């Protein structure tokens, strides 16, 4: 059964730092992996979608990588800003077209 893990559960860094969020999954048979952002009490906003045949995707200061063989993805945030503070969730789409979710990493960027 596919399991998705995000470590750490929470992260606090000073403004301006580059940082990496981690996502690992147990079954490499996936269709894609998505990173989402969730602000407190709000819905999810899709940040990046990486298809299983891709190695990375970039959007502005965000870069997501995917290594299917090792079951890992990272979300790199460059030059972090207080507005980046949120919970970041990753989800993999498994062979049954179901999204399997990590519990998220709560990110706090200190001004």
Partner 1 sequence: DGGITQSPKYLFRKEGQNVTLSCEQNLNHDAMYWYRQDPGQGLRLIYYSQIVNDFQKGDIAEGYSVSREKKESFPLTVTSAQKNPTAFYLCASSPIRGRTEAFFGQGTRLTVV
Closest CA to 66 of 10, 13, 25, 5: 25
Give the pair of three-digit tokens for residue 49. Answer: 């979608």
CB of 79 to partner 1, least distance (A): 25
* Distance separating alpha carbons of residues 95 and 45, to the nearest angstrom: 23
* Distance separating alpha carbons of residues 20 and 62, to the nearest angstrom: 10
Of 14-22, 38-46, 61-69, 75-83, which segment contacts partner 1 by CB under 8 A? 38-46
CB of 41 to partner 1, least distance (A): 7
Closest CA to 32 of 55, 47, 44, 49: 49
Query: Which of 9, 78, 79, 108 lies at the binding interface for partner 1 (CB under 8 A)?
Result: 9
Query: Which of 26, 28, 45, 58 lies at the binding interface for partner 1 (CB under 8 A)?
Result: 45
Task: Give the contacts of 103 (CB within 8 A, at least 6 positions apart).
Answer: 5, 6, 9, 89
Query: Which of 13, 19, 44, 62 lies at the binding interface for partner 1 (CB under 8 A)?
Result: 44
How many residues lie near partner 1 (CB under 8 A)?
A: 25
Interface with partner 1 by CB under 8 A: which residues? 4, 9, 31-32, 34, 36, 41-46, 49, 51, 89, 91, 93, 97-104
């Amino acid at each position: 059964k596919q399991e998705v893990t995000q470590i750490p559960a929470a992260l606090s860094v000073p403004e301006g730092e580059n940082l990496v969020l981690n996502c690992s999954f147990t079954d490499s048979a996936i269709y894609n992996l998505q990173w989402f952002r969730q602000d407190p009490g709000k819905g999810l906003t899709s940040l990046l979608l990486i298809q299983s045949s891709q190695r990375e995707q970039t959007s502005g200061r965000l870069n997501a990588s995917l290594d299917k063989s090792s079951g890992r993805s990272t979300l790199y945030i460059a030059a972090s800003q207080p507005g980046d503070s949120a919970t970041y969730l990753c989800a993999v789409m498994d062979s049954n077209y179901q999204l399997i979710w990590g519990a998220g990493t709560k990110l706090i960027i200190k001004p």
